[in-house]
A and B are shown apart, each in its own frame.
Chain A
Amino acid sequence: MTRNFITIQKQRAKIIDAIRLFFKHKGFLEVFTPTFVKLPGMEPYLNPLPYTFQDEKNKSYKGYVITSPEYSLKKLLSRGFPNIYQMATVFRQGESFGPMHNPEFTMLEWYRPHSDYTQIMKDVEQLTCAAALAVHKTLLIPFGNTIINLKQPWQKISVKQAFQKYAHVNLDNARTVSSFRKQLGHKPYPIPKNANWDDLFYTVFLNDIEQNFPKNKPIIVYDYPLPQAALAKRKPCSRITAAHGANKSRNSLQGKLPSFYAERFEAYIGGVEIGNAFSELTDWKEQYTRLKHEQALRRKLGKDAYAIDMDFIAGLKSGIPETGGIAVGVERLQMVLLNIQDINDLMTFPVNTLFKSE
């Protein structure tokens, strides 16, 4: 490491200051929600850390460390909170100790009621630029062998376009495992045995697509297929369809195939994934159905299948406005902005030194 450890920590703090200042100027309220909860996120592929604690009568309480403050923040939204944000400490088990992962990290989430993911795209661009200016005084930042130009607006590509362009896969015709698989006949890489839909998606995404994202500027990848967006709002049927529908009977509109895509985006800077955003799913019935589905998948994958957080569902039921929201990995953002390739060079006490074996 050429840079002084203290210098890096000072620069990290500058970025945190810039984040708080950004949200203050935008009129967001900073909120604080629990790290330990009874029912954590249901995402089938995340592994929340279980914990037990006792009260003064030695009664035990079982719960988990959050993988994201999302449920708590949405419960606040259902109670009429305005634009809110939190920088939460979160934890994920079953992940490696670097270079892009640390089991404990900081998740920055913000939510905008009466808005959607397009506004969040603007937010994430502006926030990154504000933080870059705070440490570099320029939007041209060095990262590895390149200089990243953060100039807005950022390049955008839909997941469907990316699959078509880089993998020659038409996702419209890949709604099922078999129709997806059929399009992968001549791929030069092995397709996992017993692959489910998500496995196929990521096998193609990681082998054919992600490495094509530009290294010298950010890119926003948007509109993910429904299986890849559990908490996102489904896209409306295309505008043409809706216009057609207006002149037709209600029945024919209902007969239309619902959109296969949801309003989710991911932001990549210099090839590093830094954030994941949604037009939030606000329909409690659909949310409940999707959580049921995820719970079943967790069970099938042999993971803890805890109960659905019915307070969260009740919150949605009591009504929350159309909302845009995002989760940004703060350490990832700091790595990119501070030209650090290994998260262990960023953390004060990286987990691989805290828990090193002998």
Chain B
Amino acid sequence: MRSTNEFEKGIVLRIENEPWQIVEYHFVNPGKGAAFTRTTLKNLKTGKVVERAFKSGEAFEEIELERKKGVFLYKDRRNAVFTIGEAKQRISFPIEQLKWELNFLKANTEVIVMHLDEKPYAISLPAKMELKVVEAPPAIKGNTATGGKKAVVLETGYSVNAPLFVEQDDVIVVNTQTGEYCEKAK
């Protein structure tokens, strides 16, 4: 059981029989009543995001998530397909559910597949990933109006702002949380 004062971002609680992940939380004290904890919760089954307030001291069952190693294979018009574990069991997610992750996924990328009640429900990417630049406009000398940055296109089709010295066929490191350029791969 997790009490409100043990809340953390990312943990999953069973509330009214549904799995809710804590996205955000903070303390409120109306002064004329007990203190409360305000939270933003994401339902891991439906993806629905809600705001909820709980009286301080209320406790909920924590759901342990199972993390399994997986590999991204390919995507088609509807689904993104992965294999899980040694047995290479195939699973797929609708592409709408992985809009963000697919910006960085190329064939054979290793990922973590989060499981809830034995069912896969989400993909966790490595925090940083190396991707090849397939399109980079030439740097125009003295062009500092854009803060010394230019948009380059990665092999996954994702476009990112990179320093002017980045060229086509370079491999760069991208932060998969923010989607921003980190550095040139060594």
Contacts and interface: CB of A to CB of B under 8 A. Distances in A.
Interface stretch (B22-30, B86-94, B124-132): B22-30
A206 B35 contact: no
B33 A199 contact: yes
B53 A207 contact: yes
A94 B20 CA distance: 27
**Secondary structure of the A contact surface, majority rule:** loop
B33 A228 contact: yes
A92 B119 CA distance: 46
B69 interface: no
A229 B16 CA distance: 32
Interface residues of B, number: 21
Contacts of A190: 15-16, 54, 58
A100 interface: yes
Interface string A193-212: 10100110111011100010
Interface in A256-281: 273, 276
A273 B33 CA distance: 15
Interface in B24-68: 26-36, 38, 50-55, 58
B35 A198 contact: no
B55 A195 contact: yes
Interface string A141-155: 000000000000000
B55 A95 contact: no
Contact of B32 (A100, A188, A198, A207): A198
Contacts of B27: 95-96, 101
A189 B31 contact: no
B34 A199 contact: yes
A95 B35 contact: yes
Given A190-B15, A206-B38, A201 B33 contact: yes
B31 A43 contact: yes
Nearest to B16: A190
Top-6 shortest CB links A-B: A206-B53, A96-B27, A198-B33, A192-B55, A202-B33, A207-B53
Interface of B: 15-16, 26-36, 38, 50-55, 58
Given A195-B55, A198-B34, 11 more contacts: A94-B35, A100-B26, A100-B28, A188-B50, A189-B16, A190-B16, A198-B32, A202-B36, A203-B36, A203-B53, A206-B53
5 contacts: A95-B35, A96-B27, A190-B58, A198-B33, A207-B52
